[in-house]
Structure 1
Amino acid sequence: MSAKLAGKVAIVTGGAQGFGWGIVRKFVDEGAKVVIIDANEKTGQEAADKLEGCAFVRGDVSERAVWEKALETASTQFGKLDIVVNNAGILIVKKATEYTEEDYERIFRINVKSLFQSSQVVIPYFQKQGGGAFINMSSAGEIRPRADGVWYCATKAAVTNATKALAVEWASHNIRFNSVAPTIAETGMYQVILNAADLKDGEETRKKFGEVIPLNRFCRPGDVGSAVCFLASDEASFITGVQLPVDGGRSI
């Protein structure tokens, strides 16, 4: 590896599986130390134990105290913090009118409030340090919305626009904000989609989903890991406020 992130320290939310695990693995391969935040104690700790230079913090990413603990963990165990990846998120597949208030509040709390809390806690730290990088998880579904995911798409629109506004607001402090927008992938969200549509995984199902992606395959955790790694690296030091689709052309 080229060690693009040598000497860097990152927090990755939802880092125990799916895109998050792909990001964590890529970061470690490229020389970074990583603090994983995950709601699942077992999978989170197991993920951190698999790779050298990883620590684990269990908690809800929408809670300020969890971010304070993650920042403290990065500082005490690894000496600093350079990168925040807001990857954790949920998908609830229902018609807009079938969402309960609980569904609505939960999806915005996890997908959007987590950005608010990370910004509140980490931006002051990055100010004192002289810079840092945030990479937030948007979605191809925000660029090209579809039925049965209205409020999910709305959360990702909030992520994208908050990222751009934060990029403008904090550029003078050398704090960069970018987002990535993946398409359907071999992650836990794929099973959520299958369950909602009463479909089973298989060649025909994957062919159906793949037909809307010009490169004709699913996104992979490693694809997102590579994109996020680039945006977090010094190679992207003059890039801020960007939404980078990682979708095989789906959003064209």
Structure 2
Amino acid sequence: MFSLKNKHAVITGGGSGIGKAIAQVFAKQGAFVHIIELNEESGKQVTEEIQALGGQAKSYGLNVVNQSEVIATFQAIGRIDVLVNNAGIAHIGNVENCPEDDFERVFQVNVKGAYNCIYAAAPSMKANGGGCMLHMASIASAVGIADRFAYSMSKGAIHAMSMSVARDYLTDNIRSNTISPARVHTPFVDGFISKNYPGKESEMFEKLSASQPIGRMAEPEEIANLALYLCSDEAGFITGNDYHIDGGFIKLNN
């Protein structure tokens, strides 16, 4: 079950964190993984790790904000069966602490970057008789989270775009869904804690972990396993949905 054999999967931001975990799981299940990564060295490293384990992978140094480069890269890849829009950046602050430059930067990467990839992948999927798109949203698109104004905006847009694609491409056999994680333990989280709470890393890690009712952060592999299911043929009846993977944050955080 959940085989991706003979499928070509494009994963943006596949050089670290959740994207890396998805790339590794997809390759393990037989996909040829195409890693799109701004940090070219990180992309190459993940590619080499996958290849060392007998998997198939290739990395591309690419800024998803640049539409012409995205289109050229996707055309060079050719067949695309799966697109995972994972690349994104964070921002901390409410609207008064969100200067125009910061707002624009988050919008460009998180929203326009995802749009560019959808725009470039759709023709390939149509030509191949269908495909699957999966977009990384966030619980911030469903509930209010303090000091996450620009980030929440961007993830709300991701969910809306996914729903639109799901509706528009039903007859083309292209499915589109979103995953909305709560806090995930990635290198980004560790870096955020180290930068903002020097000397209190352990204390803040425990505090952030405890903010989810289940008592811990998610592991990237847990997000990747859900992504695998949603992009597999076993999920062929699923489109236009958003999946909260949040340790009970939304329903149980009273």
TM surpasses 0.5: yes
8 Å contact from structure 1 (residues 140, 181) kept in 2: yes
| Cα displacement (A) at 1:195 | 5.9
Q: What percentage of aligned pairs have identical amino acids?
A: 28
Q: How many residues align?
A: 246
Rounded to whole Å, the distance in 1 between the matches of 2:40 and 2:162 is 29
Give TM-score scaled by structure 2 length. Answer: 0.91
Tell me if structure 2 keeps the 8 A contact 1:134–1:176. Answer: yes
One-letter amino acid of the structure 1 residue matched with residue 61 of structure 2: R
Instruction: State the distance in 1 between where 2:30 and 2:248 align.
Output: 30
Instruction: Check the 8 A contact 2:182/2:249 in 1, yes or no.
Output: yes
Matched residues in 2 for 1:187 and 1:18: separation? Answer: 5
Could you give the per-residue CA deviations for residues 7-45 of structure 1, whole angstroms, max 9, x where no partner exists? 111000000100000100110111111110010121111
TM-score (norm: length of structure 1): 0.92
Gaps of 5+ in 2: none
Contact 2:21/2:224 (8 A) holds in 1: yes
Distance in structure 1 (CA, Å) of the matches to 2:189 and 2:144: 16
Deviations 1:93-150 (A, max 9, x none): 1232122211111101110101211122111121111101100000112222211111
Which residue is 1:8 aligned to?
7
Which has the larger displacement, 10-19 or 124-133? 124-133
After the TM superposition, which residues 184-203 of structure 1 pair with which residues of structure 2 at under 5 Å, given as runs?
184-191=183-190, 193-194=192-193, 198=197, 200-202=200-202
Matched residue, 1:60: 63
Residue 211 (structure 1) shift: 2.6
Cα distance in 2 for partners of 1:192, 1:67 equals 29
Q: List aligned pairs for 1:22-171, cutoff 5 A.
A: 22-52=21-51, 53-75=56-78, 80-171=79-170
Secondary structure of residue in 2 paired with 1:47: helix
- Partners of 1:104 and 1:54 in 2: how far apart? 34
**Letter of the aligned partner of 1:20 in structure 2?**
G
| 1:54-96 C-alpha deviation (Å, 9 max, x unpaired) | 1011111122233224323432xxxx21000000000011232
**Change in CA separation of 1:190 and 1:89 when aligned onto 2, cut-off 3 Å:** same
Q: What's the CA shift for 1:196?
A: 7.3
Contact 2:141–2:152, Cα closer than 8 Å, also in 1:
yes
CA distance in 1, matches of 2:195, 2:97: 13
Structure 1, unaligned stretches of length 5 or more?
Answer: none
1:192 Cα offset (Å): 5.8
